[in-house]
Structure 1
Amino acid sequence: MDGFQAYGAGKAGGVFDPMTFFRQPQTLVRILCWLFSIVILGCVANEGYTNRPEEDEEFCIFNRNQNACTYAVSMGTLCFLCCTAFIVLDVYFPQISGVKDRKKAVMADIGVSALWSLVWFVGFCFLANQWQVSKIEDNPLNEGADAARASIVFSFISVFTWAVQCLLAVYKFKLGADSVTFSHEYVDPNQQEAVEEVPPPEAWTGGTSE
């Protein structure tokens, strides 16, 4: 049928429409997650390390805990790559012809989004705690303070953007399941009318024979 859709996209083979793609809520939230990962990565990688005048080696501004900066940089990099991959998948998604393949892609989106929401929740708690217990004498000039606060704030916001992304994927999954069920149960009205108009066998012989 012409209006058939499976998991939020029509039949494969359609022309890609950039305006429609970028107006989708899922795409907008995905881009926000992508931008936030860049902000967190940039803040910690560029200004997350400092050193005291009497020291030659740099240390992490989060309570001199190297693990905090490593976590933020690593997760920011992985999140950036993950968002890029899923944006590419979103562009390619309408071209996937198999319903089962679309289902797997949407389920992967749900799982990955939920995982990243958890990752950034852990990151927010970790960075906020380490920044709170940081000693003033370790960083008397308060270098990188704005970058540290920005990374904490955007880690917190990322928890919700990824949670929203997960909910949108769940909605897409439910919508897809309903549409696929509908397509299997669908009966062409013209065929239904034709079946109803067929006379019963008794009418073929003019009635039952005695």
Structure 2
Amino acid sequence: MEGMAYGAGKAGGAFDPQTFFRQPYTILRMVSWVFSIVIFGSIANEGYVNRPDEVEEFCIFNRNQNACNYGVTMGTLTFLTCLAFLALDVYFPQISSVKDRKKAVLTDMGVSAFWSFMWFVGFCFLTNQWQVSKREDNPLNEGADAARAAIAFAFFSIFTWGVQTYMAVEKLQNITFEEEYNKLFPQAAP
């Protein structure tokens, strides 16, 4: 019974990086992290262009600064969110309280659902602005690949964050089961 705690069978155990990086949850978080880098990097790098006769640079998404700002801001925030939750995933096995574990998983579930929704909105917004800019005989073809990459990875991000939400729901069910089991069958001290 030593080293065991309610809700955390390995609470207090040593961190194993090999096991950590092989978990599907960690892999999915790192994929979301890379997607966010691609989105904000492609827009920040090639998302602003100008015509030869103009001095000021404009956003390649229908000259709408809000579209570029949305992509860069959401990409940056999801980048930071992924780093924060990777740190939480490293720390999670050390949490021995079922209530604290539940709070962490509920937070993860809510944040993942939020980002899935925000990337859906971002995908729709960027796609719409890109279609409008292509219809208006817009000669700004310099950043076309960056725009397509941002749109594609915004689309992929919907699913990676959605799967993270689903996995958090499963994790919450396992924690709830442990809590109920421990209430019904309290373990006797040796």
The TM-score, its normalising length taken from structure 2, stands at 0.92
Residue-by-residue CA offset, 1:126-180 (whole Å, 9 max, x unaligned): 0000000105777525111011001001000100100000000000000111012
Whether the aligned pair in 2 keeps the contact of 1:62 and 1:68 (CA below 8 Å) is: yes
Instruction: Kindly indicate whether residue 76 of structure 2 is the aligned counterpart of residue 77 of structure 1.
Output: yes
Q: Identity across aligned pairs (percent)?
A: 65
Please give the secondary structure, in 1, of the residue aligned with 2:133: coil
| 2:134 matches 1:108 | no
* Distance change (3 Å), C-alpha of 1:70 and 1:62: same
> What is the RMSD computed on CA atoms of the aligned residues?
2.0
Measured in 2, the distance between the counterparts of 1:52 and 1:114 equals 40
The letter of the residue matching 1:50 is V
Contact 1:68–1:130 under 8 Å retained in 2:
yes
Give the aligned residue type for 2:51: R
What SS is found at the alignment partner of 1:38? helix
Is the 1:136–1:142 contact (alpha carbons within 8 Å) kept by the matching residues of 2? no
Matched, 1:44 2:6: no
Match of 2:142 in 1: 143
Structure 1, unpaired ranges of 5+: 192-210
1:21-71 CA deviation, whole Å, 9 max, x = no partner? 111111111111111000001010000000011110000000000000000
Taking a change above 3 Å as real, the CA distance of residues 40 and 104 of structure 1, as seen in their structure-2 partners, is: same
Structure 2, unmatched stretches of 5+, are none
**Cα 1:170/1:53, change in 2 over 3 Å:** same
CA distance, structure 2, for counterparts of residue 80 and residue 118 of structure 1: 16
- For the residues of structure 2 that align with 1:137 and 1:166, how far apart are their CA atoms? 39
Q: Does 1:162 align with 2:161?
A: yes
Amino acid at match of 1:132: Q
